Amino acid sequence: MNSRILKTLEFEQVKQKLFPYLTTAQGKEMLERLIPVADKLLIETWLEETKDALKVQRLRGGIPIPKIENIQPHMKRIEIGADLNGYELAQVTRVLTTTAEVRRFIEELKEAEIEFARLYHWEKQMTHLPELTRTLKQSIEEDGRVTDDASDLLRQVRQQIRRSEQSIRETLDGLIRGNNARYLSDAIITMRNERYVIPVKQEYRGIFGGVVHDQSASGQTLFVEPKQIVELNNRLRQQQIAEKNEITRILAELSTMLVPYRKEIIHNAYVIGQFDFMNSKARFAKEQKAIVPVIHSKNEVNFKQARHPLIPIEKVVANDILIGKDYQALVITGPNTGGKTITLKTLGLLQLMGQAGLPIPVDEESQMGIFSEIFADIGDEQSIEQNLSTFSSHMTNIVEILRKADNQSLVLFDELGAGTDPQEGAALAIAILDEMGARSSYVMATTHYPELKIYGYNRPKTINASMEFDVDTLSPTYHLLIGVPGRSNAFEISKRLGLDPQIIDSAKQIIDGESQDLNEMIADLENQRKMAETEYLELRQSLVEAQKLKEDLESAQRYFFEEREKELSKARKEANELVEKANEEAETIISDLRKMQLLGGQAKVKEHELIDAKSKLADLKQEEQLLKENKVLKKAKAAKKLKPGDEVMVLSYGQRGELLKKIGDASWQVQLGILKMTVAETDLQPLQAAPEPKQRVVTMRSS
């Protein structure tokens, strides 16, 4: 993509909106290098990554990525055998810990069986180094400080240092209290030349003995190391040197441990940057209410409610922009200041964003094309830079565009033919548009020449458009009207501003009849469009309401059946519990009777009567699995009798319907009110099925 179009359409300014959302140096570098491309496979890959990012943002609030600085210089130093300092090792540690956290985060997404097109692809490229990560985390704090746990020797030395410091402070505390306080400028303990000292007044410099390390600017205060702590300070200094040497050894050892994994760590940082960049696109999409567009197979552009991303969201006017299906050239006519140039830039900029894999501020189901190049002739920046006239500036750009444009190019012309004699300018504009049409280029052009108002009516694959103007408020609405040429509102505006009607009538007589007829035709077209738009919006609203009613009804039906099943299950459970309880009581009674028999009581109870009584109690218990099997058998039996014209109950919806025809082996087309639906046979129950005759059970007993 040519660099000129990126500047003209302010693509870099769009990228700047993503920078605040980035937390890694690698992610920022990726954004800096981002430019639109024409490679379909690459664009599809980028858009899939953006789609994954939006999904993660919606479900989990984004991928957890902390602030990470650039570790490339650190890895290069390791490669040549240099040792890293604590802060540099802390940055490498952060890459490794983030790798572990991101992999754990993505594993949770996998366990939840959430599908992602590209997220899992990148996660597979990360190398988890648990032992190295654990060692670094144990040895280095986030601020780069080496921890006490880095080695046993370091822990011992630091314990000695703490004891020495405590001993020095206790000794000095004893010196600066009581009567000695009058010899001091201030009763504090401070440091000079890495040794503990106290501030002594100049005239008492010999009171404490020891070594003078510094004096105040006025010379009235000396910073003295009293003789009582000289040896303690010496011992502390030796311990501090030992600590420094051990830290140096530890840093060298840790740096050496990184060498075998240098490439893996660098690639981990790259993948983390990729996730960071994906996060930034998702957050930008949330801010802009942007979506991932669909790439149209035939290179058609259909932006629904497209918004310019650099205009504040509360001020921007959304427009539907279509090009490439019924027409490849869209010519916006009408006066200036109506938003023509912004509409032109919106189309070009959104295409650039889409071809860079960025989400674009349009409504769902919007479609984008893929253009090998996007050219634009907008504004007078070249005339200012090169001291050219407006016309020369435009024509220089147009000549360059004509030299390169083809059937895969999107060309944007702002005020085509402007800056010269109107008649000649209009003729040039028509000729240039014809040439673009001959090349099958995709074109959006703006112009205020009246000669181009009928251009879209007598050229193939071309349509006129205009920007709506509200004559009541005397201001543009910035809405794009495709299919309606722009017209002058001078007479109407003048009338509303109070110009004498006779003057307006005289003016109308001066312009030729053809122009007057054209303006009247445009006005009529605009009125028809408004009526059609009103009807469309009303129908759309009715459809939305009907759809919501349908969804509410289906939801209510589902709730009803779920609650009914819950109540039935509850009732069966309670009934079974009652039978179980009765059965247990019967067992107790039978047991007692048997005991009575064994004890030789008078009651004589026959064994078969006991078994018969127990069986009758057991039969009262409903077996849930048996009930389910019976329902399936009944449905299968009833389904065999189904035929077209039968009235049935659709169980999943709880609605009556009429069978129209059988579809396949296991489905029927059913008329439900005004709807025709395909329903599984197992979801149907005949409403007029003949009742099955009851079978009598005859019990015979032999005497």
The Cα–Cα gap between 640 and 391 comes to: 82
Q: State both tokens at 58.
A: 């919606």
Q: Is residue 547 part of a domain?
A: no
Model confidence pLDDT, tens digit, residues 500-514: 888 877 877 766 554
Select from 453, 487, 521 the last residue of a domain.
487
Strands 367-368 and 294-295: parallel
Amino acid at 272: I
Segment 247-276 mean pLDDT:
96
Q: Is residue 203 part of a domain?
A: yes
Select from 421, 452, 487 the last residue of a domain.
487
Q: State both tokens at 290.
A: 């942007």
* Residues 462 and 377 placed together within one structural domain of the fold: yes
Q: Is residue 369 part of a domain?
A: yes
The Cα–Cα gap between 616 and 33 comes to: 84
* Residues 268 and 396 placed together within one structural domain of the fold: no
* Residues 347 and 472 placed together within one structural domain of the fold: yes
What is the residue range of 174's domain? 152-239
Q: Is residue 492 part of a domain?
A: no
* Residues 24 and 62 placed together within one structural domain of the fold: yes
Specify the DSSP element, H or E, that contains 213.
strand 211-215
Contact predicate 229/192, CB 8 Å: no
Q: Is residue 460 part of a domain?
A: yes
Whole-number Cα distances in Å, 590 to 72, 581, 587, 662: 87, 14, 5, 58
Task: Label residue 369 exposed, middle or buried (CB < 10 Å: 0-12, 13-18, 19+).
Answer: buried
Contact predicate 469/530, CB 8 Å: no
Select from 459, 487, 515 the last residue of a domain.
487
Task: Label residue 359 exposed, middle or buried (CB < 10 Å: 0-12, 13-18, 19+).
Answer: buried
What's the N-to-C CA distance of the chain in angstroms? 105
* Residues 424 and 301 placed together within one structural domain of the fold: yes
Q: Is residue 534 part of a domain?
A: no
Whole-number Cα distances in Å, 46 to 41, 51, 57, 309, 372: 9, 9, 17, 19, 17
CA 200 to chain centre: 65
- Tally Cβ neighbours within 10 Å of residue 426: 20
Return all residues near 437 (Cβ < 8 A) that are at least 6 apart: 328, 329, 443, 459, 460, 461, 462
Banded model confidence at residue 578, pLDDT cuts 50, 70, 90: confident
Q: Is residue 73 part of a domain?
A: yes
Q: Does the pLDDT value for residue 118 go beyond 90?
A: yes
Model confidence pLDDT, tens digit, residues 401-437: 999 999 999 999 998 888 788 888 889 999 999 999 9
Q: Does the pLDDT value for residue 698 go beyond 70?
A: no
Q: Is residue 580 part of a domain?
A: no
* Residues 157 and 145 placed together within one structural domain of the fold: no
The Cα–Cα gap between 357 and 36 comes to: 8
Q: State both tokens at 514.
A: 């053809």
The residue among 47, 62, 40 whose CA lies nearest residue 117 is 47
Q: What local confidence, expressed as pLDDT, does residue 246 receive?
A: 96
Among 542-546, 586-590, 699-703, name the most confident range: 542-546
Please tell me the total count of domains within the chain.
4
Lowest-confidence region among 66-75, 140-149, 238-247, 688-697: 688-697
What is the per-residue DSSP string for 159-200? HHHHHHHHHHHHHHHHHHSGGGGGGBSSS--EEETTEEEEEE
Model-level pTM?
0.69
**DSSP tally for the chain: helices H, then strands E:** 20, 19
What CATH number is associated with residue 690?
2.30.30
Lowest-confidence region among 89-103, 171-185, 486-500: 486-500
Q: What local confidence, expressed as pLDDT, does residue 702 receive?
A: 39
Banded model confidence at residue 386, pLDDT cuts 50, 70, 90: very low
Amino acid at 142: E
* Residues 320 and 464 placed together within one structural domain of the fold: yes
The Cα–Cα gap between 42 and 356 comes to: 9
* Residues 180 and 258 placed together within one structural domain of the fold: no
Return all residues near 83 (Cβ < 8 A) that are at least 6 apart: 248, 251, 252, 255
* Residues 276 and 192 placed together within one structural domain of the fold: no
Task: Label residue 439 exposed, middle or buried (CB < 10 Å: 0-12, 13-18, 19+).
Answer: middle
Q: What local confidence, expressed as pLDDT, does residue 210 receive?
A: 86
Q: State both tokens at 528.
A: 């028809």
What CATH number is associated with residue 23?
1.10.1420.10
* Residues 339 and 481 placed together within one structural domain of the fold: yes
Q: What local confidence, expressed as pLDDT, does residue 351 receive?
A: 98
What is the per-residue DSSP string for 527-565? HHHHHHHHHHHHHHHHHHHHHHHHHHHHHHHHHHHHHHH
The Cα–Cα gap between 285 and 198 comes to: 61
* Residues 50 and 99 placed together within one structural domain of the fold: yes
Contact predicate 488/518, CB 8 Å: no
The Cα–Cα gap between 214 and 197 comes to: 9
Rounded-to-10 torsion of CA 411, 417, 419, 421: 180
Give the chain's mean pLDDT.
84
Lowest-confidence region among 74-83, 227-236, 378-387, 588-597: 378-387
The Cα–Cα gap between 379 and 388 comes to: 13
* Residues 56 and 187 placed together within one structural domain of the fold: no
- Tokens 């039906």 -> residue: 557
